[in-house]
Amino acid sequence: METVQTLKQLCETQCIYNNSNMLITLVRNLLKPFCNEIRILNDGSVFGVKRGKNNTRKIMVDAHMDEIGLMISEIDKKGFLHFVPVGGVDLKTLPASVVDVFGRENIKGVIGIKPPHLQNKDEAKQPFKWDDLTIDIGYTKEDAEKIVSVGDYACACGEFTKLSESEYSSKSMDNRAGMCVLLKTAEKLAKLNIDADIYYVFSCGEEFNMSGANIAANVIKPDICITVDVTHGVTADNSERAYKCGDGPSYSIGPNISKKLVKIIQNVAKDENISIHPEVDGGSSGTNAWAIQVCNEGVATAVLSIPLKYMHTQVETLDINDIESVIRLLIGFLQKASVM
């Protein structure tokens, strides 16, 4: 399957926190042909292992599977659903959005707002609060309760859309982009003979507390772990702490990252003519690497990130060429890291 098709399929399947049944099934089916064994951990995280020809060491490649979303907190007397955020949801993107609600069936709803006619003059200038918004699914309370329960998840719809040329927009590119990299890497590596055992980990809970990555690293006990996630893309209103989409991925540098692994990444990029850009953090890299680095007796960690515009909105946008660049870089990295 082409990279874009894989990415689209991933984006169209939901997984909030650890509510991952549909996505686990998809990942397992896509990963199976390329791994010796697939395992699902108790928290819902999934990993597949491709044993190396000399099992020199264990290298974990990690991409988080979960996305931000909403959780239903109440069904009110008019049948409207009140909700709370799961992960860093930006409230500003919710008004007038169509949402998917994952109850006993999957249904659609709207987060509607008061018509302008009924607002007083200053209201339009005020930001919304979480209590102001509800999901309208078009049912009475009695009928709503047959389909939806408190605790069910929901997420804003963001149909996978091709923009011009190489840019694509969808909800949950954070971090289906990373997952896509892992799946395509697994596919390509299956044909090569690598020395180390490679563990492809799709972890839950990153948007919450990085619990999945923690659990996986404790189970696998890798020597090295490279995390693939997203970073901020340059937008019309911001070019600081951001990277241009289509210009190649960023790689992290700082106390959370192994200096040795950074050198490997830089060398591979040079050899393969891949454009990469340093992303510096004085503490946490803001990814699963922060949790993984201190697992067991320690793990050498590295991070590669795909530039993503409008992160945590329904229209997260990236350039497909950046995903292809990370795949090439990752394969080169895994080959070198197997024998260093």
Cα gap 155→21, rounded to integer Å: 16
Identity of the residue, 36 or 164, whose beta carbon is nearer to another protein in the bound complex: 164
CA distance 289 to 222: 12
In the complex, the smallest distance separating the C-beta of residue 337 from another protein, rounded to whole angstroms, is 29
Minimum distance from CB of 181 to another protein (Å)?
20
Active-site option among 67, 167, 206, 316: 206
Cα gap 73→293, rounded to integer Å: 35
Least distance (Å) from another protein to the CB of residue 92? Answer: 5
In the complex with another protein, the residue whose CB is nearer, 38 or 234, is 234
Nearer to another protein, 128 or 271 (CB): 128
Residue type, 47: F
Task: State how far the Cα of 136 lies from the Cα of 112, in Å rounded to an integer.
Answer: 7
Own/partner contacts of 104-109, CB < 8 Å, gap of 24 or more, are 104/146, 104/147, 104/148, 104/149, 105/147, 107/137, 107/147, 107/148, 108/137, 108/157, 109/81, 109/135, 109/136, 109/137, 109/138, 109/154
**Any residues with CB less than 8 A from the CB of 241 and at least 6 apart, and which?**
232
Which of 291, 290, 285 shows the shortest CA–CA distance to 304? 285
Closest approach, Cβ 291 to another protein, in A, equals 18
3-state secondary structure of 92: helix
Phi/psi at 119 (nearest 5 deg)?
Answer: -95, 145
What is the nearest approach in angstroms of another protein to the Cβ of residue 219?
Answer: 30
- As given in the structure block, the two tokens for residue 170 are 């969808």
Peptide bond into 175 cis (omega under 30): yes
Quick one: which of 220, 201, 223 has its CA closest to 210?
A: 201
CA distance 171 to 313: 7
- Cβ burial, residue 283 (10 Å; 0-12/13-18/19+): exposed
Residue 142 annotated as catalytic: no
Structure tokens at 10: 């991933």
Whose Cβ is closer to another protein: residue 39's or residue 312's?
312
Closest CB to another protein among residues 213, 245: 245
CB of 97 to another protein, least distance (A): 7
- Least distance from another protein to the Cβ atom of residue 108, Å: 5
List residues with catalytic annotation.
206
